[in-house]
A = this chain, B = another copy of it.
Amino acid sequence: MGMALGTLDELPLAYRAALARNSLAPLWPMMRDVLPHGGPRPVTLPHLWRFSELRPLLLEAGALTPVEKAERRVLVLTDPGRGAGAMQAAPVIYAGMQLLLPGETAPAHRHTPSAARIIVEGEGAYTVVDGEKCPMHRGDLVLTPGGAWHDHGHAGTEPVIWLDALDLPLFVYLEGSYAEEAPLQAPRNRPDACEAEYLASGLVPSRRHGRAPAARYPMLRYPWARTEAALRRLADLGPSGEATELDYVNPETGESCLPTLGFTAMMLRPGETVAPARRSTSAVFHVVGGRGTAVVNGERFAFGPADTFSAPVFADITHAAAGAEPAFLIRIHDRPLQERLGYYEERPRS
């Protein structure tokens, strides 16, 4: 174990050339790169994207590029560890701030990656997913699962901004990412399932035998009003100093609301500091409301409403709420994927 492994330079040039000719490469000079000892060596760097800085740039994009030439007018949050233009904030997480101006639409389409959006600002926008029309209010989580047709519209009067989160990098990595387009959908004339069918925990529409099984994604919108109320109640009762967290799940199965990305709503009580275990997942945190600080691997971020920050795998993270109000965040992570791989892990802080 102690001995240094051989390097590429130690191999004769002719041998190296013969390997290259045959699409072969020696493992041992690369071994410690792909299988480091003791723990992973993440490339991802923690970063804070301040909404106050991002918002003007996003509105400027609206002015610079008509939606027809952008299709989706999005500024992608690029991991500084990967260099300019990286289409991801963490290994599995694409996060982008999208702007929709009054009257604009996004064409109906579907793609292999799954998406969820968290509404940041503005009223009047909606997403239609497989015919189900979901209104979009601040803090709402709206799903567009992989393979589901979706389009967006905006019947309001002010710009709408939302945060898109997708497992796009995973599908790019798998060489399985692609999209298809279609005409705009005719939405059904009824409220979305969270208003019609999934109104109380533990109650689901009775299954009709012989009919098609329940939709794989029966509930597409998780209204923030419910989430905040549930967090506040949980915080009243739970022990202090411990995270107050709710996972977004499929109400028919209890599984994560999307196959690879997980979404966890967090509340920090006023003045509270929470220091969770290190997790094998990376994460993007979006601030729905309140102010505070996050220290990620020693880097300090002061956050406020609509800010977004990231953390790599196995990061030491400390969250604290500032001021007299609680802070509310949604953590976007890849725990569902890691659990499907049998790999998810938590470790004591370092």
A residues lining the B interface (CB < 8 Å): 1, 3-6, 10-12, 15, 18-20, 22-28, 30-31, 34-44, 47, 49, 53-54, 57, 60-61, 64-65, 68-80, 84-87, 91-92, 96, 107, 111-113, 146, 168, 170-181, 190-191, 194-207, 209-210, 216, 219, 222, 226-227, 229-230, 233-234, 237, 243, 245-254, 257, 259-260, 264-265, 277, 279-280, 282, 312-313, 334, 337-338, 340-346
Contact = CB atoms under 8 A, between A and B. Distances in A.
B260 A250 contact: no
Contacts of A112: 40, 343
Contacts of A207: 247
A35 B168 contact: yes
Nearest to A203: B246
A115 to B, nearest CB: 11
Nearest to A11: B64
B174 A23 contact: no
Given A26-B75, A53-B22, A178-B37, A199 B226 contact: yes
Contacts of A264: 206
Nearest to A189: B237
Contact of A198 (B78, B171, B202): B202
B74 A28 contact: yes
Given A37-B178, A245-B206, A341 B259 contact: yes
Given A26-B70, A91-B174, A200-B226, 6 more contacts: A6-B65, A19-B57, A196-B237, A203-B222, A259-B342, A340-B341
A24 B73 CA distance: 13
A14 B313 CA distance: 34
Contacts of A344: 209
A192 to B, nearest CB: 11
Contacts of A30: 76, 85, 87
Given A35-B178, A168-B35, A234-B197, A75 B27 contact: yes
B146 A54 contact: no
A168 B206 CA distance: 25
14 contacts: A23-B77, A26-B65, A26-B70, A26-B74, A26-B75, A35-B113, A174-B334, A199-B226, A201-B201, A201-B203, A202-B250, A203-B227, A209-B344, A251-B254
Nearest to A331: B206
A68 B3 contact: yes
A265 to B, nearest CB: 7
A184 to B, nearest CB: 12
A345 B215 CA distance: 19
A70 B28 contact: yes
A12 to B, nearest CB: 7
A218 B25 CA distance: 34
